[in-house]
Structure formats: structure tokens, C-alpha cells
Amino acid sequence: MARPTALVTGASAGFGLALSHALVERGWRVIGTARRADRLAWVSEELGEAFIAVPGDVTDPAHRSLLAETASSTGKLALVVNNASRLGPSPLSKLADYPLDELELVYRTNVLAPLAILQFALPLLMPGAGVVNISSDAAVQPYPEWGGYGSSKAALDQLTAILGAEHPELSVYAFDPGDMRTEMHQAAFPSDDISDRPEPSTVVPALLRLLAEKPANGRYAAADFAVGRAS
């Protein structure tokens, strides 16, 4: 039986790396992309031939074309996870002072790139395949200084909801993993100790449970599918 194939963006660190590990351990093949080629090469060496590294920036159309070619060469996709994200300025900035060129980059990475990836991936998805766009509680809560990142994730949530309505044959989810001990979270709070936040690997089982249970298309949080929680 052929192993299922997933496309995971932001696969060199944090949640994307933890998810790639978990999928490969479960017999998947993962096409992983990230901007840092050195880190992605390390992941490829660690995970072996089951991990196909395609380094590059998801906001670059040429890189997305390469991703599309790579995905097409592997056959049908069973899962796409748009995990790559851009936080914006660090320290975070109030909207009144937000550099608009930075905001444009945030939207390119967090909204336009996921849609562009799905536009080439949709024809490659097998019936019932999963589509996961990584969201944040900042998409629904008005946290001061989170206007750039939060509004981009709110836009991604709505995009995901509409895609789910347009493609009921797929499992389409916005997934909020909650706070995690990642570089991005540290950049959001550069002077804070974030060692009390959970490791990304502890959140992956919640996403895997979501994908296994296949609830109605929509927005879900990791807490909804925490291990030990009743369905």
C-alpha cells in the first residue's frame, strides 16, 4: 500500500517540524518547505527518504511553482498543512504605529501564500483529504499590539471557512494550536521567559485526532481534541 503524502509548510522548526516527525513516524511521506535551507536539510537527514525537502519562501511564486511540481510528481496528496507564518515586527507594534510594509509581508505570508498553495494543491487532493490552515486565538481575541498578525489570521480563518463550504468533499480546518514554546512565540515576547509553554510535539496529537475524527469543516482549537478529552 502506497504511503500517504502530506505537504507541510514551515517544516523546519516549531509545530511544522513536530508534525513532520509525527507523520513520518506513522508511515507518511512529507513534502516539507521552509525558508531556512540549512535547517530543512537537517530535518531531511534526520527523517530520511520519507521527507522531501523543498527549501524556499512560500511568498515567492517561483518557489510555489517548484512545490507544485514536486507535489505533482508524488501523485495525490492526502493532507496540506499551511503552517508557515510571519509574526511581524518584534517587539509587537500598535496599529497606529504599524509599518505598512511589514503588514503587507504578514498578509502575503499568512493569507495570500496559503491560498496560492491551495490553488495548486486542490486538484491534487484525493477525496476526503485534509486541509489545515494554522490559526491563532489572536484571530478572535482583540489583544493589544496583535493587530497585524491577528487580523491576518482572522482573514485566514474566513478564507478557510469559505473553502470548506466550497469543497465539502474535503476536510478543511482552521486549527488553533494555542501557545507553544516556539521561536515565533519568543519573538512576540522577547523579554519574557516562555519555558512554561508546551512543546509543539505535545500539541500534534490534538491535530492528528482532529484529522482522524473528521468533524464538520470549521475552526477548531487544540483544546477541543486534547488527548483524554471525550469526543
Q: Is 149 a known active-site residue?
A: yes
Q: C-alpha cell of 175?
A: 486549527
CB 141 within 8 A of CB 150: yes
Helix (H, G, I), strand (E, B) or coil at 190: coil
The phi, psi pair for 101, rounded to 5°, reads -65, -35
Provide the 8-state DSSP code for 222.
Answer: G
Integer CA distances (angstroms), 119 to 63, 64, 129, 142, in order: 14, 10, 15, 30
Instruction: Round to whole Å and give the CA distance between 67 and 32.
Output: 9
Cβ-count burial of 96 within 10 angstroms (0-12 exposed, 13-18 middle, 19+ buried)? exposed
Catalytic residue among 107, 149, 173, 220: 149
Place of cell 491577528: 150
Instruction: Round to whole Å and give the CA distance between 13 and 36.
Output: 9
CB 160 within 8 A of CB 174: yes
Among all residues, which ones are annotated catalytic? Answer: 149
